[in-house]
Amino acid sequence: MKAHEVELKQLGSENFLATYAKERYTDLINRAVAQLVQNQSVVITAPFSKHSQDQKLWDELISPIKKFDSTPTLYWVVIDDELRKQRLLTRGEARDQEKISKIDQYIQSTHSQLPVFEHTLVKGDLAEK
């Protein structure tokens, strides 16, 4: 992200992330495989919510991981829209400015569906009391 800071500002975070999704996945999986080669456990944050309906992508992501005699498992974390909005507003990340400027529109447009591939559902707001 840092290497492409100018382009990130020009495109906006959503367009930037869409443009570089494939490269980001490739880098993520390559780094995971490097850890697995060293007998290290790995937790990967993928796929992105917008790609949760793409079975082919999921199969491509887990293929190199499965070579290590492992069983990749997707834990799909969900929280309600109000809590998601609150977390975005308080996170304070520069990359969120575009989202925050139209927060209600962003929340409505990014309400993700459950993945089409096998997953374990986790309610991420249970600890928020």
What is the residue-level pLDDT of the chain in tens, covering all 129 positions?
Answer: 677 778 888 888 778 888 888 998 999 999 999 999 999 999 998 998 889 999 999 999 999 999 998 889 999 999 999 999 999 999 988 778 888 999 999 898 887 789 999 999 999 886 554
Type of residue numbered 17: L
Question: How many whole angstroms separate alpha carbon 95 and alpha carbon 56?
Answer: 29
